[in-house]
Amino acid sequence: QVQLMESGPGLVQPSETLSLTCTVSGFSLTIYNVHWLRQPPGKGLEWMGVMWSGGGTDYNSTLKSRLSISRDTSKNQVFLEMNSLQGEDTTTYYCAREGYGGFAYWGQGTLVTVSS
Amino acid sequence: EIVLTQSPATIAASPGDKVTITCRASSSVSYMYWYQQKSGASPKLWIYDTFKLPPGVPNRFSGSGSGTSYSLTINTMETEDAATYYCQQWSSTPWTFGGGTKLELK
């Protein structure tokens, strides 16, 4: 079945770079688009960017200067890198796959805290 | 950016109640999507293409709307429906979500 799992450091120092991995199973990254989203504690959802099945990317303009999404199809992994982290980047990060026209499959999320 | 405004922000309902959550878009969107999120869990796609239910979603849920005004309705509230619901649009990037409506048990 379709599964996505985020992994990465739970704690990042201010001004440093966050690196997250989304490992997927049950589908091909060359057929389905995978998105990154985030949700601050107790708050709403923000779409960050997408790795298109064809290999291209798109980013939320509010994050575009700091964000990079890439993939390794041989390892079934999608990567997120975001630099210059600050306290407001403390949030749960999700990867999600499209389905039924929406974000139909989600990872369990990974909480990242930005703190010294 | 299309801003989605949900109302109410919080609502309390008793089992058997009819519940309606609205989502207004700052510009017209073609379809609306709704997600259910329970505490500590990932969101789940709950309604797609404005009114369609993914497998497993009870048919007491329904969606409607067009243009800039959409709604999610629960025909008869059940205890398991207590959660936060978010609307989301795909019509224009960046794809955006509403601020959420927290549905509590009365």
The token pair at B59 is 């048919």
pLDDT band at A58 (very low <50, low <70, confident <90, very high): very high
Q: Is A58 helix (H, G, I), strand (E, B) or coil?
A: strand
Q: What CA–CA distance (Å, rounded) separates B31 from B10?
A: 24
Residue type, B10: T
- pLDDT at position B33, please? 98
- pLDDT at position B77, please? 97
Nearest-neighbour CA in chain B from A18: distance (Å): 21
Among residues A98, A59, A37, the alpha carbon closest in space to that of B93 is found at A59
Which chain B residues are Cβ-neighbours of A109 within 8 angstroms? 42
- pLDDT at position B97, please? 98
Out of B44, B86, B94, name the one closest to residue A60 (CB): B94
Which chain B residues are Cβ-neighbours of A44 within 8 angstroms? 86, 97-100
| Chain segment A7-27, per-residue pLDDT in tens | 999 999 999 999 999 999 999
Phi, psi of A88 (to 5 degrees): -70, -10
| Chain segment B29-68, per-residue pLDDT in tens | 999 999 999 999 999 999 999 999 999 999 999 999 999 9
- pLDDT at position A3, please? 98
Out of A61, A99, A108, name the one closest to residue B42 (CB): A108
Contact present, A40 and A94 (Cβ < 8 Å):
no
